[in-house]
Chain A
Amino acid sequence: MRATLLAAAALSLAACTQKPVDPGLPAPTPAQLDPVPVNHPSIDPLPDPEAQGGHIGRAPRRISVAQLKASILTTTGRQWSQIDTLAPSLGKADFALVNAESTEANLVFAKFLEDGAREVCLAAAAADLTQTDQAQRVLSPEVPVSITDLTKIDAATAKKNLVTLSTRFWGQPLSGAELDTWAATFATLATRAQAAGQKRQAFGAICVALMTDPRFFTY
């Protein structure tokens, strides 16, 4: 069996590269993509958007209600209390009257996702405020527990935290100008939340923005 798998892997690699594997490359690591050799032929270059009606790649798809439920739990460690009640409105099929899951991101989905994100995120942010173990913090994992004044969080720490959160929520880190924008927004949120005595709303609002961003519920 093992020999068969190895042979299949060798064949597929040969089909891809059409030339012997460079012996100088590092050995593939499990769960990691093989490195692309130098001078490798182009890998399905993306088509010119002009020839695609301005589009790039396939259209994104929305996750199902079950996936949304799992995603919320995975990213925040807690569950939206209303998700089962609202599941039919979010698109879940009951296989009695509705026999296909609707994965449209329509008005009802947008409204209820916003409601759910607020419930879960503000609860998580509130819990973080009393969590003294930094490793256990959900929305501020990169912010030292010694910082209690949100306005004292420096830009580098805020960005590091945003990168961690965006990677967890979207599987894709914030970067570049977009990271700067989010960091600036967080600074404003932190100042306001600190002044208003609503500290949970600073990280809570960031979490809401992450969870209601299309990158959270599309693939």
Chain B
Amino acid sequence: MRDPQGFSRRHLLRAASGFAGGALLGGLPFRTFAQQAALAPADRCFVFVYFAGGWDMLLSLDPRDPAVFTPERVAETRILPGYSLLATDPSFPTTVVTPNQRPGGPVPAIQFGPAIGRMADHYDQMCVVRGINMNTVAHEVGYRYFLTGKEPNGSAARGSSTATEIVGQMHPAVPVPSIAYGIETYNDRYPGAANALRVSRAADLLLTLSPSPTPLDSEIEKQLVDLRGKTVTCEAQAYDSRGLVGQYRDARSQMTQVLGNQLHKSFSLDFNAMDPQALNDERAAIRSQYNLPATGSVNMDSAAGRAAMIGIALKKGISQCVSMNLVGGLDTHFGTQVSHATTQRTGWNALADLVDDLRKSAHPGGGTFIDHTTIMVFSEFARTPLINGTGGRDHHICSAAALIGAGLKHNLAFGAAGDINMAAGLVDRTTGRPDPKGLQILPEDLIATVLASAKLDYAITRTEPLKAILSG
């Protein structure tokens, strides 16, 4: 039993006074609360896009001119672009792609491979980092290295995912701060609030955002809400005053808000006659934006569907960070150049639609969403610059990545893979040019750059960001 002499009613009331606001808020009808706490997009958003399986850089971010890197010179260069092998699909160019200059935009300074698709149109929002030494040709290791910016122990990830690091530092006021879709997520030092909502399918996300499958009578539902909102005893309030219980009450408020806003409907792009016309119009607009079928059911687990989900999560103010396995099936040891290029282009086109959406959508903080969103696109490693005996390419240690959007310089190619065997070399960090006195570019350099792009603490990476590609 507690000693009444050591814990008077006066003390209880004083302890409870700090929670008066919360108690008052809890007593408000839900509608009022929801209006006061309407969803708003985070001021800074982040997207981590993963191309699973190891991508062929020659086909997208680090091309080579087939007129220079000819089959006749293979013994010398150890590089075979293989673009001529794409000729069986006329939708692929067979040369290096120079983007068309955007109206009012800068002269393109980045060239791409034939599988870049519509993403080339966004050269003016993109910085390509080449010559990244992944230090591994093992899938899990390279993948986890890029997720955390720390080289794994064996294949075990170390540290937190970058999205976790961001949410842990920024504490965004959005209901689901981080979503990890088909991608691993780690948290080694932040409270659980920084954890990503990890889902493997669109249906999982919908389950979280959907009303309970066991509904109650509406009046009974209201009574439950009222009961939970009523002030309890002073002692119970003091018990609830911090830490986990307070977090739970916040989470319940968020849940009520999320369910009240019927966010699951936002992630369902299927026409529903029972829903308001405005919502169905919005769905039609999203289908059009992401090149999804205009009618019928939408596969939200497709690359285009996933890209649409990212856009919805950011624009609706549901999430600050979305980590997404956008496209897989790139581990083409035995595939053809066309099959790899087709898969890779599917991912780039979906990403291009997302970037286009973010460029067109006004952000409440001013400008458009792309001005508030940093996107990092990566794979676990690249594929060999030579084609193997079965027509595919094997694992290659030197890769590339794309950084898009806020806090970065654009229309810039930084770093380089060597012209012999596309080897990772040393780079002058101030210019991005090869320099025998320079340093290698490693995944942690990009993670530090992403964190620094939002003025976040990057000390956890134990490296300096690539300041030459940071804006401002």
Contact = CB atoms under 8 A, between A and B. Distances in A.
Contacts of B259: 111
B220 interface: yes
B236 A178 contact: yes
5 contacts: A45-B5, A49-B11, A88-B198, A105-B245, A110-B255
B34 interface: no
Contacts of A185: 223, 226-227
A153 to B, nearest CB: 16
Interface residues of A, number: 63
Contacts, number: 167
Contact of B195 (A61, A102, A178, A182): A102
Contact of A192 (B157, B220, B255): B220
Chain B interface SS verdict (over half): helix
Interface stretch (B211-219, B380-388, B430-438): B211-219
Contacts of B184: 97
B84 to A, nearest CB: 42
A84 interface: no
A106 B247 contact: yes
Most buried by A among B187, B226, B247, B254: B247
A151 interface: no
A120 B192 CA distance: 26
A39 interface: no
A103 interface: yes
A56 interface: yes
A48 interface: yes
Interface stretch (A6-14, A69-77, A138-146, A201-209): A201-209
Interface in B201-215: 208, 212-214
Interface of B: 1-3, 5-7, 11-12, 14-15, 17-18, 157, 175-176, 184, 186-187, 191-193, 195, 197-198, 208, 212-214, 216-217, 219-220, 223-224, 226-228, 230, 232-233, 235-236, 238-245, 247-249, 251-252, 254-255, 258-259
A206 to B, nearest CB: 9
Task: Return the 3 tightest CB-CB contacts between A and B, nearest first.
Answer: A45-B6, A104-B192, A59-B243
A192 B227 CA distance: 15
A24 interface: no
Interface string A110-145: 111011001100100000000000000000000000
B240 A214 contact: yes
A189 B235 CA distance: 27
A103 B193 CA distance: 10
A59 B242 contact: yes
Nearest to B188: A100
A54 B254 CA distance: 25
A130 B208 CA distance: 33
B233 A176 contact: yes
